[in-house]
Amino acid sequence: MSQMPQQAALSKCPSCEEPLESGDRFCGACGYDLSVVPARPRDEPTIAMNGVVPPQTSAERAAPRPPSAPPAAAAWPAPDGPADPAPAHRPADVPGTNSDGTPLSGTPAVHPSAAGGAPPVPPSAAGGTHAAPVPPSAAAGAPLPGAAGGTPPPGDPAAPPAAVQASPAGGAPGAPSSGVRFDRRAEPAGDEYPLQAPDPRVAAEPAQSAGETAAVCVACRAGRVDDDGYCENCGHAQPRERDHMEQECGPLAAVSDRGLRHHRNEDAFAVGTAALPDGAPASVAVVCDGVSSATRPDEASLAASTAASESLLAALPRGTHPQQAMHEAIIAAAEAVNALADDPAAAGEHAPQQNAPACTFVGAVVTAGLLVVGWVGDSRVYWVPVDRSAPAARLTEDDSWAAQMVAAGLMGEAEAYADQRAHAITGWLGADAYELEPHTASFKPDRPGVVVVCTDGLWNYAESADEMAEILPADAAVRPLHSARVLVGHALDGGGHDNVTVALVPFPAVPQGAGSA
């Protein structure tokens, strides 16, 4: 029966360095298999590995050292084994390349840094003499490369070992060399590298261009905003384009804000100016409020406001009466919203039982002496004179449950609007509307003033005409954009429970003697 090879007893585990007992075949601490530990060589290695010189005995330190000329190399100690080892291949017997990329030859390549000298090698412990390395070529009877006159006698300390000559760059054949350095990587000659490092000037250009266009978080002011609209640093959702919108167009302006409770702005507005056939100016303002219980209310309000504004700005220059033009604009807005429900691209976004896209509508047309309003739903128009001693007025009637209760005499206005059903609308634009009933009215104010066109996100915090006149800045006729911002801020300060949108249209002075409608 075969037996495991016997080894010298180990005092500690080679893996965890825990003490061992005689006869242990496995480490009791880490389980290391002690049978795989190689036998200890009889002599300490005489070659410097990674620049670390093995410890020397007192006899070795007392032995004389050779001059400072670099030795060729040191021979490895003979391993334990049979006296006649198996023949080994020479480097040239097998095609390949050295670690520095040069082809293998009968003579191993030498690192260029070896020309400056290797660390001194201590004498062997056996006899105190330096053992000269025997390269493979010497075994075949060739003289040692680099030796001018042969090998000096081993016992002559005055004769320095053979000098090691650096191999030329590129590993030219026939160049003298000796030994291989294991403590350093091969370095390419000169400035030629297989992979050139990127030019930092070129690499910095894309980064700079990307940094110039990257959006910065509005919350932490440090993180970059990703494509989904969130900060990569703090995760804060960034404002969308419609979260806050402002526009000033000639004498009128509009502001819309998402508010503090809704996740998106479902309101939309459109403002513009046109010239009547006689050259007189006309101002147009349209405000739409998306119905939150419907599908894609933000798209509905945008489609309605855009269609109505385009219809008005096209009809007024042709000489269409402003009130008739307003009626046609409401029809055009309704058709635009209805088309959203028939859009095949968005047909799969909502189930059949869900409401079709819907919104409310309110608009105003202001000319030299006429004010025309139109509405469907609960968005409103207020009239506030510049002379605040004159009374303000609300020019629209809501299509809502509360308005119907008041009109029928079943409830008072305060009681009806305090009910939780007050804002349930009875009229809207959309494919599922019961019947489209556009409301239009015309007025002829006898004094200058400001027309306030707004959604319920504003008038919830200033419901009566007097309350609206109280929060409207006195210079709203000459600073409409600033005044619209003030009104939106009033709603946000009150809680901002809904989207807030308001457009201000100054009414010009009318000729003397004109009466009010």
- 461-513, pLDDT tens digit by residue? 999 999 999 999 999 999 999 999 999 999 999 999 999 999 999 997 333 33
**CB 416 within 8 Å of CB 422:** yes
Instruction: Please identify which residue in the block is written with the tokens 């990569």.
Output: 232
- The pLDDT score that the predictor gives to residue 343 is 73
With bands split at pLDDT 50, 70 and 90, how would you rate the model's confidence at 414?
confident
Q: If DSSP states are collapsed to H, E and C, what string results for 214-254?
A: CCECCCCCCCEECCCCEECCCCCECCCCCCEEEEEECCEEE
* Residue range 350-376: mean pLDDT, rounded: 88
Instruction: For the chain, report the end-to-end CA distance as a whole number of angstroms.
Output: 124
- The pLDDT score that the predictor gives to residue 11 is 78
Check pLDDT > 50 for residue 2. Answer: no
Tokens of 300: 């509905």
- Among 80-84, 243-247, 430-434, which is the least confidently predicted range? 80-84
Q: Give 448's contacts (C-beta < 8 A, 6+ positions apart).
A: 385, 386, 477, 506, 507, 508, 509, 510
- The pLDDT score that the predictor gives to residue 12 is 82
d(CA 177, CA 147): 11
d(CA 110, CA 89): 19
- The pLDDT score that the predictor gives to residue 229 is 79
Check pLDDT > 60 for residue 370. Answer: yes
Mean of all residue pLDDT scores within the chain = 75
d(CA 460, CA 246): 21
Q: Give 170's contacts (C-beta < 8 A, 6+ positions apart).
A: 102, 189
Check pLDDT > 50 for residue 159. Answer: no
**CB 220 within 8 Å of CB 236:** yes
| H or E element in which residue 364 lies | strand 361-366
With bands split at pLDDT 50, 70 and 90, how would you rate the model's confidence at 60?
low
pTM greater than 0.75:
no
d(CA 308, CA 358): 15
- The pLDDT score that the predictor gives to residue 25 is 77
With bands split at pLDDT 50, 70 and 90, how would you rate the model's confidence at 32?
confident
- The pLDDT score that the predictor gives to residue 62 is 53
